[in-house]
Amino acid sequence: MKKFIITISREFGCNAREVGHILASKLDVPFYDRDLVDMTAQRAGISSDSFIDSEMLLDRHLKELLKAFSYGSSTSFYSEKAVMAQVDVIRELADRKQSCIFFGRCSDYILREYPNCLNIFLYSPLDHRIKHMSEAYDLTEAAAAKLIKRVDLQRHNYYKYVTGKNRGDRDNKHIMLDVSNFGCEGTADIIISAVNRKYGE
């Protein structure tokens, strides 16, 4: 198989990270996720801690979840120095000989000129995302809905800051899939089929 790069953008709560892990396991390639935040922070000389907006913190559990899912969204990442560090980290990893998967961090935009890149956007209806988050993290549906709204807004704002574009636009996306329709395994299998069709020899 020819070298390929997969980028995954997503709506919060659609279980896209699980899809990414399944893909990486089945394709036997590296999966770059939160380590991208750590490498960017180290290179830019900034803290990777997340800024927590106290207006929505209903309890300690929700505060901890927001902190975890907002990783890499602190105000220190909103600078030219941090953005350029992120660009350098992602492109250096992409330039290695091995195929790989990038999870978030505007990687679809950063690698937009790479011809061997397959850009995926994963989403699900809001009710499905609320159900998943409430069951997975022991939240009330109201708390799950508030968490989804807050994290999605953070990620949208960051993507807009780096790229000037909206995160869920079709521009530069090759495949857009509703995870609730196919499940994590089924979604991964569809993407693998596309990889085989496009990069298989």
pTM of the model: 0.87
Instruction: Identify the band that residue 54 occupies on the pLDDT scale cut at 50, 70 and 90.
Output: very low
Per the rule left: phi > 0, alpha: psi between -120 and 50, beta: everything else, 38 is alpha
Tens of pLDDT along 153-178? 888 988 998 899 888 888 889 999 99
Tens of pLDDT along 181-190? 999 999 999 9
Edge to edge, what strands does the sheet with 5-10 contain?
31-32, 100-103, 5-10, 117-123, 175-178
Alpha helices in 76-178 (DSSP H): 80-94, 107-110, 126-136, 141-163
